[in-house]
Chain A
């Protein structure tokens, strides 16, 4: 969690210095969701994500260096400079993006799950998306399809109370999203998304249920983003008091406090951890800066597969 937080704080600095560009959406405040859910998944499982995916990618094990290089548009980036912040991919880690169309990854996740189901592989596909995406047809079409076909799909809705600047009650007729998902015949429940243990526990139970063959599960994570929607957003639609109220429940500091109280994380160990992460991120930035640019001659690469390639 701390890695995700520190990584993104560095991204803010780099963005402000115009070293990285594009749309960039920060996950700060929501880290417990990505980390807790990924704890419950195995390497064989798959993850489908959104444009707010730095946290999901890091929690999935995509190296900070590969993500940072992607933000710099370098050839060493995890999408070879074609994707940027919103389109991180790592096929080897079964991390399938990185999708900047709200709701666009949800049907895709159902397809990954369908393939597992058809071939008898006991794997889970986890799909992250926001409360805004819950209004899209793609969510509802997919929920019906996944429940109908009993797909091994874990739908994780990150309800951070806003779709850009539109508050939940202004974009959903019924704001109890878990209740609505349950209407599709899925096991659904709401979770305190600021508590990494609660998230992990819920995700583990859901993943177990899915592996046992009980079809898709839906988790509504109650969470909050401390920052604006994106780097372009002046954040005029939220009360400062509301933000401060949620910050009291900061998942990273909350965890640190609990670990300290349980005497599992001394001040010294915390400092050492911070130093290690700081060095890791420094290294990632430095490597990204040094890495070669993707040559412009390669512009048309990866539009279609290379000549002669066929899937055996």
Chain B
């Protein structure tokens, strides 16, 4: 499954410049709306409010209410309407406030978007892009904090993306729109305020391949989305102790890029998967299984996993932090993989994430 696309140039992006993840997303939307009149953005509060997370702020003024379309609180109806519009030649970008609410539209996403091409014997591709936030870390408690992208990655017929960097936030949308099939984009809520230099126009992101964000030789930290910054921080810590960690950003959760994952494991012989989803039945479980199936004889240690504790996400800061993958836990898991000493505090944190038992 390869998405082809035309390279777009944005005069504003001719040299590196400071921006945020949120602004990068907005720029991507603006470019899509400017370059293709079939593109429109639809969702709750995307217009006058400017987007629940401020991503679409200002787009209403620029593109008008037909194309920046405030929808009623009807996840199923407006996601389904996006699917119908895609069938009729439009290129809808549908925004669902958070993955938690996408469950009200799960029927449309799974039973229609993901299946129409197949059930129709190839007659009805659904070129829709559905964006939503995911993840915890802002003390919003269980109903606003879960990471369910792994569930969507379970579904044949969908492509699932998780932009973790400014560049991916800026340049993933174009190839997503060029894909003839439904694409889900998961934006981790903790990333919107991340700022940094956006490299000069790199062209559309390659959404078929994972990216090695930091090369290393001793252990592969395999992750995506909101956990990428944590994995990179863990790699820094590990480097201080002389352990060279390679950080692989999956970028596309479905289809998984087995090659990049496998090449990394073949280099390092050890792997730790970091995934904010619950451990049981997680994406991390799938990756671990694949690494074991395909690279068993490359491995010098069992595949480690750092996931969220098996609990609905709590509100209290200490509890929420304890429930989520953290740098300490990642460091501990990596050390365990390379057979090094594991500091006691970090050990507890990692154990908790691994066993899913608090205390």
Task: Determine if B84 and A301 form an interchain contact, defined as CB atoms under 8 angstroms apart.
Answer: no
For A, the interface residue count at a CB cutoff of 8 angstroms equals 50
- Which residue of the partner chain A has the closest CB to B127? A311
Closest Cβ of chain A: how far from B253's Cβ, in Å?
15
Q: A90-B123, A137-B76, A311-B178 are in contact. Are A111 and B83 (CB under 8 A)?
A: yes
Task: Determine if B84 and A89 form an interchain contact, defined as CB atoms under 8 angstroms apart.
Answer: no
Closest Cβ of chain A: how far from B46's Cβ, in Å?
15
Task: Determine if A91 and B123 form an interchain contact, defined as CB atoms under 8 angstroms apart.
Answer: yes
A110 to B72, CA, bound (A): 14
- Which residue of the partner chain B has the closest CB to A100? B111
Q: Is B116 in the interface zone, CB < 8 Å from A?
A: yes
Task: Determine if A89 and B112 form an interchain contact, defined as CB atoms under 8 angstroms apart.
Answer: no
Interface string of B47-76 (1 = CB under 8 A from A): 000000000000000000010000110101
The number of chain B residues touching the other chain, given as a range, is 35 or more
Q: Is B4 in the interface zone, CB < 8 Å from A?
A: yes
Task: Determine if B178 and A304 form an interchain contact, defined as CB atoms under 8 angstroms apart.
Answer: no
Number of A-B residue pairs, CB cutoff 8 Å, is 166
Closest Cβ of chain B: how far from A293's Cβ, in Å?
13
Q: A104-B111, A307-B1, A310-B180 are in contact. Are A114 and B81 (CB under 8 A)?
A: yes
Q: Is B133 in the interface zone, CB < 8 Å from A?
A: no
Task: Determine if A138 and B77 form an interchain contact, defined as CB atoms under 8 angstroms apart.
Answer: yes
Closest Cβ of chain A: how far from B144's Cβ, in Å?
21
Q: A107-B108, A114-B81, A307-B2 are in contact. Are A302 and B122 (CB under 8 A)?
A: yes
Closest Cβ of chain B: how far from A67's Cβ, in Å?
13
Contacts A/B (CB < 8 Å), 5 sampled: A107-B78, A110-B81, A114-B90, A148-B72, A311-B178
Task: Determine if B122 and A304 form an interchain contact, defined as CB atoms under 8 angstroms apart.
Answer: no
Q: Is A18 in the interface zone, CB < 8 Å from B?
A: no
Q: Is A46 in the interface zone, CB < 8 Å from B?
A: yes
Q: Is A101 in the interface zone, CB < 8 Å from B?
A: yes
Closest Cβ of chain A: how far from B308's Cβ, in Å?
29
* Residue with the highest number of chain A CB atoms closer than 10 Å, among B118, B119, B178: B119
Closest 10 interchain pairs by CB?
A111-B84, A107-B80, A80-B121, A115-B88, A141-B77, A141-B74, A89-B120, A111-B81, A305-B180, A91-B123
- Which residue of the partner chain B has the closest CB to A303? B156
Q: Is A144 in the interface zone, CB < 8 Å from B?
A: yes
- Which residue of the partner chain B has the closest CB to A109? B84
A96-B87, A98-B119, A114-B84 known; 14 new pairs, CB 8 Å cut-off, are A82-B121, A83-B119, A83-B120, A87-B119, A89-B124, A97-B116, A98-B120, A104-B108, A115-B88, A115-B90, A118-B40, A145-B74, A303-B156, A305-B117
- Which residue of the partner chain B has the closest CB to A143? B77
Residue in contact with B107 in the complex, picked from A104, A109, A307, CB distance below 8 Å: A104
A89 to B85, CA, bound (A): 17
* Residue with the highest number of chain B CB atoms closer than 10 Å, among A46, A79, A302: A302
**B residues less than 8 Å from A39 (CB atoms):** none
Q: Is B304 in the interface zone, CB < 8 Å from A?
A: no
Q: Is B91 in the interface zone, CB < 8 Å from A?
A: yes
* Residue with the highest number of chain A CB atoms closer than 10 Å, among B5, B79, B108: B108
Q: A101-B111, A148-B72 are in contact. Are A308 and B89 (CB under 8 A)?
A: no
A89 to B118, CA, bound (A): 11
Task: Determine if B72 and A144 form an interchain contact, defined as CB atoms under 8 angstroms apart.
Answer: yes
A142 to B157, CA, bound (A): 25
Residue in contact with B120 in the complex, picked from A87, A104, A138, A308, CB distance below 8 Å: A87
Q: A101-B111, A104-B108, A310-B5 are in contact. Are A305 and B181 (CB under 8 A)?
A: yes
A138 to B90, CA, bound (A): 22
A302 to B1, CA, bound (A): 11
Q: Is A108 in the interface zone, CB < 8 Å from B?
A: yes
